[in-house]
Structure 1
């Protein structure tokens, strides 16, 4: 048989095989299209059902994505079995298992952030709008995605943090409660009556609008003997957001300063005593020198 005849026979076999596979290809395409349509319908139903729950928006999107992945993957597996009758679900799953190991090693960090994001989404403690601090990053949580979270710092900068960082390290959630306790140190001179100073400071802080006395009373404690003053620790409750804390501290410090000034109580500045090894000569200036 001539080479040309062999080539023609091979092409005929290919054409015959392709024609015989057309029905299978059509059925496989129909299966994929049906899977896409079912996915859209189920996605719509799941989305409406989840919207009636109290789950956070990012967690709702995660559940919808997981359902879509299951439906589309199942459709593709069925289409592959239709196109290639020799394939079985067990062989496909075995192939996916081997491939997932290789992909897992190649994209370890990506999957780590993805799994950390899922765990964070299921947490109740950290929500969108909370102010947090983690690894020298402090700001408001604006968005929690699958692989990273968006933190808007108080100076306006947006920081994109991998979810694994938030999962592995301690996270301070500053707005977990509506109120936080704030402290400042206030010093008075040594010749001041301690009880009188404590009462004046306590009354002035209690009168501030930003102080939440329902959360607890204002606390004023004599803390230590300073280098030039008796130092009081002043503690009170106010809103937990950073701007609320700064505004309340400003109001309290101003009120305490006015109250102590009105009572004639000095807030001393540090005194320094200079000691010289040798006596210093003093010169008296006479009128003629002027």
Structure 2
């Protein structure tokens, strides 16, 4: 009986402590509620301010900067910084200074561990900053890199996104582009186009050269210090092969293909007018060299 009374007393005492603790929490929540609401409001203001500041930096502060990738990276960086300032300000309003101090104190150790674990990601991040400030690659350029070819649509802190000719997107890590060669068709406004062809052995090579150069010059105007180059390259199996090179405005693969197509059509039209033959391989079967003999077999009956 006595032990039962002792147990009931302990349970009632424990319940009183729980109620007292919950009452204290409720009182603290009520007292902290204005600060909590204020912290949410402040963080929300900083959140929207980050977006407007990012847009302001890209469209106003960096208006005269022609390189779009610089605008994008600096805009995103400013947005992240302002958002972090708002987060730490909200913690200070909630009187979580000790938590903030602990976070900053542990940032060094955590940063070291994260840095070792995410070496590849950090490499891509720093490479993204480098690419953003490089004039050799910009948004809208047509590049070839790591076996992929297309137009640059985005440069961020992780990868470069290109849209290939089939309209599919390919994300290439920044470190891959930094560490490997890449070709940028848009880096120069003028490109040299090469067309290869062949003419029959019966052709007058001087006339072929003159007519071909005239056909190209008629549709592609060469600027000063530019010229149309014509070279015979080889005696082929059925033709004498040559290549012709000329300059035209081209900042992407599409313009290069169009120039090659127009050049081929102009050459074919000129050859038709002057009866110049463009031969193709022909296989001749001569059965006259094969003498078939028929033998008569006589079967004698016993």
Please confirm whether the aligned pair reaches a TM-score higher than 0.5, indicating the same fold: yes
Give the Cα separation in 2 of the matches to 1:25 and 1:185. Answer: 79
Cα–Cα, structure 1 residues 159 and 68, in superposed 2: closer, same or farther, change >3 Å? closer
Q: Which has the larger radius of gyration?
A: 2
| 1:202, distance to aligned residue in structure 2 (A) | 0.7
**Equivalence for 2:290:** 280
Does 1:83 find its partner at 2:91?
no
The CA RMSD over aligned residues, in Å, is 3.5
Does 1:204 find its partner at 2:201?
no
Does 1:177 find its partner at 2:188?
yes
Greater shift in the superposed pair: 75-84 or 175-184: 75-84
Greater shift in the superposed pair: 8-17 or 217-226: 8-17
Which of the residues 56, 59, 62 maps onto 1:51? Answer: 59
Does 1:127 find its partner at 2:135?
no
Q: Determine if contact 1:132/1:175 at 8 Å carries over to the other structure.
A: yes
Q: Which runs of 4+ in 1 moved over 6 A?
A: 273-276
**What residue ranges of structure 1 are gaps of 5+ in the alignment?**
284-290
**TM score, norm. by length of structure 2:** 0.74
Cα–Cα, structure 1 residues 74 and 265, in superposed 2: closer, same or farther, change >3 Å? closer
Aligned residues: 279
Cα–Cα, structure 1 residues 248 and 20, in superposed 2: closer, same or farther, change >3 Å? closer
Which of the residues 48, 51, 76 maps onto 1:65? Answer: 76
Larger fraction in helix? 2
**Equivalence for 2:13:** 5
| 1:187, distance to aligned residue in structure 2 (A) | 1.9
Instruction: Render the CA deviation track for 1:244-286: whole Å, top value 9, x for unaligned.
Output: 222222222222223233333333334668899x952289xxx
| 1:51, distance to aligned residue in structure 2 (A) | 0.8
| 1:2, distance to aligned residue in structure 2 (A) | 3.1
**What residue ranges of structure 2 are gaps of 5+ in the alignment?**
1-8, 294-302
Q: Determine if contact 1:143/1:149 at 8 Å carries over to the other structure.
A: yes
**TM score, norm. by length of structure 1:** 0.77
Which of the residues 226, 233, 257 maps onto 1:223? Answer: 233
Q: Determine if contact 1:121/1:144 at 8 Å carries over to the other structure.
A: yes
Cα–Cα, structure 1 residues 179 and 212, in superposed 2: closer, same or farther, change >3 Å? farther
Cα–Cα, structure 1 residues 282 and 256, in superposed 2: closer, same or farther, change >3 Å? farther
